[in-house]
Amino acid sequence: MAQPAATSAASANASETPIVSLAHVTLAYGDLRALDNISLDVHQGERLCVLGANGSGKSTLASVICGLLAPDAGEVTLVGEKVFTAGAADFDAYRRARRKLGLVFQNPENLGLPPERIEHLVRRELHRVAMERYAKADPARLSGGQRQRVTIAGALAMEPRVLVLDEPSSSLDVRGRRSVMKVVEKLRGVGCTVVHVTHFMDEALGADRVMVLDHGHIALVGTPQEVFSHVEEVRDLGLEEPFAGRLSSQLRERGLDVSWTCDEDALLADLARRTSGHRSGRAAAAPGTAPHTAAAPVVRAEDVRFSYEQSRCRRRRADAAPAALDGVTLDVPRGAHVALVGQTGSGKSTLLRLIAALEVPDQGSIEVDGISTADRRERRRLHGRVGYVMQRPERQLFAETVAQDVAYGPSNLGLSPSEVDQRVKRALDLVGLAGKDDASPFQLSGGQQRLCALAGILAMEPDLLVLDEPTAGLDPRGRRKLRRILDGLNATGTTLVEVTHAMEDAARADLVAVLDDGRVVLTGTPAQVFSADNAEKLHDMGLGVPHPLAFARALEDAGCAPLGDPLTNEALADAIADAAGATGAPCAPAADGRDE
């Protein structure tokens, strides 16, 4: 594939010695080549963003750059140390280099610093990631997003010359992601080199260079605008354009002759000029009523309180973590899709575990299909009727083959072997893993492993499916595929309760419940929850509104007529095209998705 020339900070510093240099690097896991003849130079102070579908080699490349993996062939130089050459690793050189390299799960003690210096660094970096409140909390009791912030703080506390971030914001809320990106910008300002692996396309826009991997090869490299302008190639690689790129493409499809761009400010200015003074034919959307709100609840939570404290009868210490849930009341209508949103540590995952009867309330009650989860004997009746998809469900895989793994759940329901086989086949067909029956689940790509774990839950054919950040860590293609699967299940009557940090996903649900400090503070349809009346409250809680809605409001502030509070890209593109008086005939695409 074409590789656009890199007109970045790296090219300006081409005469300087690279701080990271890989030459013809190859690394294989058995028969799979994770990296295949990769050559790459990264310069001091540069921010390189690495993109690619699940299984493209991103994490392997990150591990090579931070000195955790040695390749099978090629040459590797890290922070001036030739760590791998002539087919052999120099372990002393690796040891010296690692003192100047950071990855999210490394910690400051590795440097042998004096305790008082460590304490200062720890306090500073916990403050940077907004985790100083939990300095003395048990890490095992933190939420997934909180643990991720702590690992980021640990890497920053090493004050590395090269910081490698592998999906640092995949489990973070809106405020957490913004905080991480601000830290990245500050680090670049003081000369720290950043190699950033991400599945969030918009996070790549601030990079000097973007590199896209495909099955261990470099498929595209260049500035963000250069790389993303290869629209069809980017999509073929399982990725997508950033928000502005997708919107400008959708507007062109609707006959609006806008220039393709991934610069959101430029697109906003262009559209404001085109739509200023126009009257939209669309009325503003009134907060609606979800179609399932009249249905009897399949889940009823009443005044639920829950704490992870080992001894709940003693007075809580000043340094103890706060209660995870504090008086939650929530009904989940049968057949509905309910999204639970809230900042990291707000209690979402805890509520999900209680709904799945993996924990029981300290106070209050939870009934699932009329069965109280507090009664151990009654709770057994929920086995097979409630499916729980944990964060990173691929970590549940254990069997020798995909079919054996998927068969485990339905086999425990006492079904006949023929019925188990039929359920396994249906589940694998549903998630797109037909034909992988005899493969080892550990030889699947990351995205396929997650789908395999999901198939194991779906094979039990639960009436209620609860999912904890199901799309975290998936590439854009994987996210779209999973959304289609879940939408299909919901359409056939399966109730979905989903924890998500993506407001765009929440906007597609029937009902949204917003948690803050262990309490449900807002409930309603997406239109109701994300209404203008709640904008300030959501912002104060570290959340936001779906990106299309935020863009529409910014466009209205710039003079456009009301666009009807669109919650999806498709609705936003329709509203803008209507306001601008587009012809409806698609504009001719330019080569590689760009205007000439």
Tell me phi and psi for residue 38, to 5 degrees. -85, 130
List, for residues 184-196, the tens digit of each pLDDT value: 787 777 788 999 9
What pLDDT is stored for residue 145 in this prediction? 57
> Is 455 among the domain residues?
yes
Contact (CB, 8 A) for 123 and 135:
yes
Q: Say if residue 242's pLDDT is above 60.
A: yes
- The answer on 378 and 264 residing in a single domain is no
Domain boundary among 459, 493, 512: 459
Domain membership flag for residue 538: no
At 447, the amino acid letter reads G
> What is the band of 92 on the pLDDT scale with cuts at 50, 70, 90?
very high
pLDDT in tens, 210-220: 999 999 999 99
Q: At a CB cut-off of 8 Å and minimum separation 6, what does 422 contact?
A: none
Mean pLDDT of 503-509: 95
432 burial class (0-12, 13-18, 19+ CB within 10 angstroms)?
middle
**Domain assignment of residue 569, given as a range:** 244-286+548-593
Mean pLDDT of the chain: 84
pLDDT of residue 275: 79
Q: Which position has the token pair 């890989």?
A: 22
Predicted pLDDT at 12: 45
User: pLDDT digit string (tens) for 58-84?
Assistant: 989 999 999 999 999 999 999 999 999
C-alpha 446/C-alpha 431 separation (Å) is 14
Here the CATH number for the domain that contains residue 141 is 3.40.50.300
Question: With helix as H, strand as E and coil as C, how does 512-576 read?
Answer: EEEEECCEEEEEECHHHHCCHHHHHHHHHCCCCCCHHHHHHHHHHHCCECCCCCCCCHHHHHHHH
Could you count the other beta carbons within 10 Å of the beta carbon of residue 5? 10
- Are residues 248 and 233 part of one domain? no
Structure tokens belonging to residue 204: 């790549």
pLDDT band at 582 (very low <50, low <70, confident <90, very high): low
* Residue 57 within any structural domain of the chain: yes
Higher pLDDT, 91 or 181: 91
* Across 263-272, average pLDDT: 94
Q: Are residues 208 and 103 in the same domain?
A: yes
Across-strand partners of 496? 337, 465
In a domain, 315, yes or no: no
CB 446 within 8 A of CB 478: no
Q: What is the pLDDT of residue 144?
A: 54
408 close to 399: Cβ distance less than 8 angstroms = yes
On whether both 273 and 298 belong to a single domain, the answer is no
pLDDT at 180 over 90: no
Inform me whether the pLDDT recorded for 455 exceeds 80: yes
Tell me the pTM.
Answer: 0.84
Q: Is residue 207 situated within a structural domain?
A: yes
Per residue in 167-199, is it b (16+ CB within 10 Å) or e — as a string?
A: bbbbbbbbbbbebbbebbeebbeeebbbbbbbb
Range 465-484 average pLDDT: 90
Residue with tokens 């590797």: 76
DSSP 3-state assignment of 274? helix
Q: pLDDT grade, residue 322 (50/70/90)?
A: low
How many domains does the chain contain in total? 4
Query: Can you give the pLDDT at residue 134?
Result: 65
Listing from the earlier edge strand, what are the strands of the sheet with 495-499? 386-389, 464-468, 495-499, 337-341, 511-516, 519-524
At position 438, the amino acid (one-letter code) is: D
What does the buried/exposed string (b/e) look like for 44-54 if buried means 16 or more CB atoms within 10 Å of the residue's CB? bbbbbbbbbbb
| pLDDT value of residue 142 | 62
Helix (H) or strand (E) holding 273: helix 264-275
Given the DSSP bridges, would you call strands 88-89 and 101-103 parallel, antiparallel or unpaired? unpaired
Could you tell me if 378 and 455 lie in one domain? no
Residue-by-residue DSSP string for 363-428: EEEEEETTEETT-HHHHGGGBTTEEEE-SSGGGG--SSSHHHHHHHHHHTTT--HHHHHHHHHHHH
CB atoms under 10 Å from CB of 414, counted, come to: 9
C-alpha 464/C-alpha 388 separation (Å) is 9
The pLDDT of residue 115: 46
Distance CA(163)–CA(198), nearest Å, equals 14
Residues 450 and 565 in one domain: no
CA 189 to chain centre: 26
- What pLDDT does residue 147 have? 64
387 vs 62: CA distance, rounded Å: 34
Q: How far apart are the first and last CA of the chain?
A: 20
pLDDT, tens digit, 9 for 90 and up, residues 537-576: 999 998 989 999 999 999 999 988 889 899 999 999 999 9
Asked whether the predicted pLDDT for residue 327 surpasses 50, the reply is yes
Answer yes or no: do 59 and 119 share one domain.
yes
- Residue tagged 């400051």 (tokens): 108
Q: How far apart are CA 320 and CA 334, in angstroms?
A: 37
Give domain status of residue 314, yes or no. no
Q: How many CB atoms lie under 10 A from the CB of residue 115?
A: 8
- Quick one: 98 and 53 in the same domain? yes
449 and 505 assigned to the same domain: no
Q: Which of 188-202, 229-243, 288-302, 567-581 has the lowest mean pLDDT?
A: 288-302
Q: How far is CA 233 from CA 97, 210, 212, 214, 249, in A?
A: 36, 14, 10, 11, 14
- The average pLDDT across 305-313 equals 67
pLDDT in tens, 371-417: 999 988 888 889 889 999 987 778 888 899 999 999 999 999 989 99
**Is the predicted pLDDT of residue 362 greater than 80, yes or no?**
yes
DSSP H or E segment with residue 329? strand 325-333
> CA geometry: angle at 584 spanning 582 and 586, to 5°?
105
Q: Does residue 3 lie within any of the structural domains?
A: no
Q: Is 346 exposed, middle or buried (0-12, 13-18, 19+ CB in 10 A)?
A: buried
| CA 142 from centre of chain | 18
User: What is the model's pLDDT at position 404?
Assistant: 95
Shared domain check, 347 and 305: yes
DSSP result, 108-125 = GGGGT--HHHHHHHHHHH
| Cβ–Cβ < 8 Å for 13, 36 | no
Take residue 581 and report the two structure tokens written for it. Answer: 């008086």
Tokens for 59? 């994490």
Kindly state the tokens that stand for 100: 């100047």
pLDDT at residue 489 above 60?
Answer: yes
Clarify whether residues 55 and 203 are in a common domain: yes
Averaged pLDDT, 219-244: 96
pLDDT of residue 126: 64
Q: Given a cut of 70, is residue 118 above it in pLDDT?
A: no
With tokens 């409630």, the residue in question is 386
Q: Which of 217, 239, 261 is the last residue of a domain?
A: 239
Backbone angles phi, psi at 514, to 5 degrees: -105, 125
Residue 541 forms part of a structural domain: no
- Residue where a domain stops, chosen among 459, 479, 505: 459
Per-residue pLDDT, averaged over 129-138, amounts to 62
Residues 262 and 370 in one domain: no
Residues 6 or more apart whose Cβ sits within 8 Å of residue 425? 434
Cα separation of 88 and 101, whole Å? Answer: 20
For 480-489, the CB contacts below 8 A with 24+ separation are 481/432, 481/451, 482/450, 482/451, 482/454, 483/508, 485/430, 485/431, 485/454, 486/337, 488/430, 489/458, 489/465
Percent of the chain with pLDDT over 90: 61
